[in-house]
Amino acid sequence: MQFTCAPEDAAFSHAPLMALLCRMPKAELHVHVEGTLEPELIFALAERNGVKLPYASVDALRAAYAFTDLQSFLDVYYAGANVLLHEADFFDMAMAYFRRAAADNVVHAELFFDPQTHTERGVAFVTMINGLTRASQQAEQQWGITSGWILCFLRHRSEAAAFETLAQAEPFRALLLGVGLDSSEQGHPPEKFTRVFARCRALGLRCVAHAGEEGPPAYIAGALDALQAQRIDHGVRCLEDAALVARLVAQRVPLTVCPLSNLKLCVVPSLAAHPLPALLEAGLCVTLNSDDPAYFGGYINRNFTDTFTALPQLGAAHAYRLADNSFTASFAPPERQAAWRQRLDRLFAAA
């Protein structure tokens, strides 16, 4: 179904557009499962596991969620993940996400997890992957959501540490959708992991990478050239390099954009200043996602509604395109994508 911009969109007043954004089926392709740990669950798991937290209460922890940049967030985020010890903890965390995602009409999710954050505390790879994949199975039964797991290497750690993690993951290769690259971007270019990603590709793993969130456009080019990334996570800084934008459009490389994350980590000064309209206008395959919803003030629908509210030039045609892109950009089989697209078409035809 083709939607053109402006004229038809004027017919959508604010409330129906918000309802459409919430009701439309969508895939979420950029969400860190550790970033879905709500403060209440952090406290519950801390108590269950006898872990001492450096915060007196849920409110005190929430008060620490005032970030100035990516690193200030990562410090709090890694501290929160310390409560995860047993398979049941990973299962409960993932189930809480799937429950929220189902409420937001997410039909498919490709989630990141950070094994190094856990193995360095003595948690075995098998413990986390069993908890996460058991949650995937239950979520599909309970809510019909399909999902896959993307192992992220921490870019602030060494190449050798990434190889060690990959060796731990190899026996569970069949349970992994692919690999990604996250954590502190500045000073850790994609090229640091060229050889690890080559090995991942040889194992048949799909490759994605965070790039161009805080880092320069050269890191996006590096993720394409050195890592052969099939999607770029964030990528908003590509707009600083016209040739790079042309390349991303020509190669149909999707960008998994996370507006509330960009706002909370001061990548943009306000949602009204978010480059989403320019990214869409450039013809990029953009998707909207929540990144770390427990920390950034909202799950995927909140990202849609807050962003569309702040950017009134965006209307139903853009909503359709973003949902459609989320299916195209997913690693789901084409026939599944086509089925979701039919549901999307039916909803928009009735709107």
Q: What is the CA radius of gyration of the chain?
A: 19
d(CA 96, CA 140): 14
The mark string for 237-266 relative to ligand HPA (x by CB under 6 A, - otherwise) is ------------------------x-----
Task: Decide: is 110 part of the binding site for Zn ion (CB under 5 A).
Answer: no
Q: What residues from 240 to 299 belong to the interface with Zn ion (CB under 5 A)?
A: 291
| Token representation of residue 61 | 């922890």
Task: Decide: is 114 part of the binding site for Zn ion (CB under 5 A).
Answer: no
Task: Decide: is 324 part of the binding site for ligand HPA (CB under 6 A).
Answer: no
Q: What residues from 53 to 72 belong to the interface with ligand HPA (CB under 6 A)?
A: 70
- The answer to whether residues 166 and 128 touch, using CB atoms and an 8 Å cutoff, is no
Which amino acid is residue 18, in one-letter code?
A: M
Least gap, CB of 214 to ligand HPA (angstroms): 8
Total site size for Zn ion, rule CB under 5 A: 1
Q: Is 47 known to be catalytic? A: no
Task: Decide: is 324 part of the binding site for Zn ion (CB under 5 A).
Answer: no
Which amino acid is residue 170, in one-letter code?
A: E
Sign of CA dihedral 55, 58, 60, 64: positive
d(CA 229, CA 196): 13
Least gap, CB of 128 to ligand HPA (angstroms): 16
> What are the two backbone dihedrals, phi and then psi, of residue 314, each rounded to the nearest 5 degrees?
-90, 135
d(CA 97, CA 113): 13
Q: CB under 5 to 8 A by kind: which of ligand HPA, Zn ion, none does 213 bind? A: ligand HPA
CA neighbor of 330 nearest in space, from 192, 178, 188: 178
Residue with smaller CB distance to Zn ion, 39 or 293: 293
Q: What residues from 189 to 228 belong to the interface with ligand HPA (CB under 6 A)?
A: 210, 213
Q: What residues from 106 to 125 belong to the interface with ligand HPA (CB under 6 A)?
A: none
Residue with smaller CB distance to ligand HPA, 25 or 35: 35
d(CA 209, CA 175): 19
Residue ranges that bind ligand HPA, judged by CB under 6 A: 32, 35, 70, 77, 182-183, 210, 213, 261, 291-292
